Structure 1
């Protein structure tokens, strides 16, 4: 996950400090720019407004995830979970900044509304990727898996934002359970080259995933 420049980070930190001490509505762009040591024009080149300062990391992460999904992945379900872990790992690297942002968002209705929209953008990105990577997948399976991954991610992330020490392995275990529930968590032993395989798939496994696995075996 690409990290922002020190200048960019400095503006975000200055803005969050001002929002915390004097309130979001009472803080002007000019005050943020002055506190960060940048010009007003520089601020507007980096951000579109005060709301964008709060959510700028998410814009970068969404762009990074789009690039990540454009790369080839053997297992689309695992790729969605890996994308979730990439976002979580970003916040783990600077939990204090993430917690300050969380407290401000909780206090400002307009920011809470934007957060809801931002969460949906992740879910939609995951949904669109699965539909593209697994032709023929049921829309219910795609949106259901995407929504569950997003909800589990946010549940674990919220523990971090509330002050707990939460390693990425906690999220990984939870996401493994998500894949297990959908019947798409790999398991078992490797097959030998001369094995005769009778495939038995969980009832919960989406038909598109069964098709993908059968095609992958036949093409080997």
Structure 2
């Protein structure tokens, strides 16, 4: 049970906005660590310090909260990713270099949004309403990356073992390992998994696995 005071009754517009934000932040934390199915409205309310009826008033259902989270936080992830990808476009560079730059951008952006990555990885059923909602929101960006992959594959024997889907699965799996397995914090107490140094070294490992780079 949260030690926050449960908020009930009428609220000002400012208070209502803060309440909605607290609900989203609390649900985002729970969905990204426990998963959608293992998180209850009661747990969200306890985490945010609000009543069950307050959550229903602002959002209606747990699924509506999930949609609101994806709309807010996935939009931030996609915006950051697209802005960074714009800087990788250089007609003077060959396709493989352009694709590697795009992969580096994707790695960094996902490291910057670990909770969003965990939510993405938890939607393992492609036929679920939530997975389809995520896919739809990411289609334009991933189409851009797929185009770069197709061109780069012609220039790299290393990429011949992949198609677009298997490369993305391998990439997401490599990126997500230290983010998803928070138990590593206990197994590796001397390793700062969120430090810039660890992320830089792990980024080089990913590029080595995917492209054979030292």
TM-score (norm: length of structure 1): 0.47
Name the larger-Rg structure: 1
